[in-house]
Amino acid sequence: MYEHYAFALYSPVPYNLIMTNKGKLSTAPYKGVRDFYPEDMAVQRYMFDVWRMTAEHFGFEAYDASILEPSNLYRAKGAENAEIINEQTYTFTDRGNREVTLRPEMTPTVARMVAGKRRDLTFPVRWYSIPNLFRYERMQRGRLREHWQLNCDIFGVDDVSADIEILLLANEIFKNFGAENGEHYAIHVSSRRLLEALYDSVDLSEDARREATRLADRKNKMEPGDFKEKMTAICGDAAKDVLTYLNADNINVVPEGIKKHDAYTELQTLIATMEETGTPVVFDPTIIRGFDYYTDTVFEVVDLHPDNNRAMMGGGRYDNLTEMFGGEPIPGIGFGFGDVTLRDFLESHELMTTDITSPTLAVLPTDTEKNIAAQKLAQHFRNAGIATSVDVSNKKVGKKIANAGEQFIDYALVLGEDEIDSESYTVKDLIEGTELSGTLQDLIDQLTNNG
Ligand code: HAM
């Protein structure tokens, strides 16, 4: 559907340019959010199209909800995430004294929607959405205060086959952007349940588990010696097995004590099946994920470009989240895939498309007196199904042709006195540099065959 080329995109407004000019209102957007000028909108549409197309290819159905949620949705047991709720939400009290939050993520919302219709839904449910989310974060590359996120989730399947399907879908999306697994990105997987099995096997206290997990999450940012020392201080005699586990680069080299656990067998099945489907995943026991609701498989997709050190996609299995709405819990697994990190990824690896929505043809009158004739001619092309724009500016025709090329328009028709008199036109192919000529009908025939 789309071709992949590298091209220069408009860079977003630097955040520090949010200033006023002599008391006038600033034209900059609110801190940490973006305006989408047409160039950026074209990129966003491309990314969303690939997301939607791939999710639907796997049989996922679209859903949506409001950006506003009652704040207690993020405070209920099971959904809480201390960092996001205490430090990162936009929360306010409405005129009716209700506490309202701009959604920081979609998972509690989709769990609420599935739980609300549990009697009417046919499980398994496969749903996707592309919500905009708000987090009051410290801004840096790959982190803004508003981002869009593709969410794909499966509800009602508690075996590992759903985990495999979700990872295959994640990989397929990257493939459809023209990216290669292992060259441009890597899928890192782990299991919360297996980590708990490890702690059980060495009889670690609840407090030590919490601290060890927090430290494990920071492992890749620490010196190995420092990490070992701190882990030993937390775990005492159990540190040897905990360190063997967290240093494992392969599922076969984890401590023997957990190899009989079914969380181990399941993760092994997942990794082996992914390998068999030609979609390798990397066992990475340091993948922890910030949300407390994950219960089992957890994963992140990392960008292998050195400029991009943020995960592009994260997700996992959360089997108890719907419990907060009452009734039997409905198992869920899914991921969120952010637009900011995706755009950085596509640009860094030169995978961004130029096939953005632009007209096929530009009609370029040689001077403003031909503008009306140009509008009439353009309308004939549009009536024949050819997307056509008209450049009615008073620029020189050479400049108009150059502008059409910059806007990724495929063909240009220069309309001067001779063309109007003879009713015979020449269309220049701006990509190939070739020309077509003939009457209006000849050109419509040729362009519709070509198009
Ligand atoms: P998350 O890891 O918080 O997971 O976000 C998923 C992805 O969204 C990240 O890998 C990143 O690409 C993008 N992202 C997150 N925060 C920001 C930000 N401030 N600016 C730009 N991009 C960002 C979740 O949100 C889970 N609810 C995903 C999930 C769905 N789990 C199961 N189903």
Same domain, 391 and 263: no
Q: Is the pLDDT of residue 12 over 50?
A: no
Q: Tens of pLDDT along 327-366?
A: 999 999 999 999 999 999 999 999 998 666 678 999 999 9
Identify whether 432 is part of a domain. yes
Identify whether 166 is part of a domain. yes
Same domain, 273 and 388: no
**Average pLDDT score over residue span 64-86:** 79
Same domain, 347 and 362: no
Q: In 10 A of CB 206, how many CB atoms?
A: 8
Q: Tens of pLDDT along 179-201?
A: 999 999 999 999 999 999 999 99
Q: Tens of pLDDT along 403-421?
A: 999 888 999 999 999 999 9
Please list, in sequence order, all residues whose beta carbon lies within 8 angstroms of the beta carbon of residue 353, skipping any fewer than 6 positions away: 2, 3, 4, 5, 46
Same domain, 229 and 180: no
Pocket test for ligand 1, best of 112, 136, 149, 319 (most atoms within 8 A of CB): 149
How many structural domains are present in the chain?
3
Domain boundary among 353, 370, 390: 353
Angle of helix 371-383 versus helix 440-450 axis, rounded to 10? 50
Question: 109 CB under 6 A from ligand 1?
Answer: no
pTM: 0.88
Q: Is the pLDDT of residue 1 over 70?
A: no
Identify whether 295 is part of a domain. no
pLDDT of residue 450: 52
pLDDT-derived band at 108, boundaries 50, 70, 90: very high
Pocket test for ligand 1, best of 147, 287, 288 (most atoms within 8 A of CB): 147
pLDDT of residue 39: 85
CA distance 251 to 338: 28
pLDDT of residue 354: 66
Tell me the pLDDT of the chain averaged across its residues: 92
Q: Which residues span the domain enclosing 256?
A: 194-277
Of 414, 423, 372, 421, the closest CA to residue 396 belongs to 414
Domain of 444, CATH number, reads 3.40.50.800
Distance of CA 294 to the CA centre of its chain: 20
Q: Tens of pLDDT along 36-73?
A: 998 899 899 999 999 999 999 999 999 999 999 999 99
Same domain, 334 and 401: no
Question: 130 CB under 6 A from ligand 1?
Answer: no
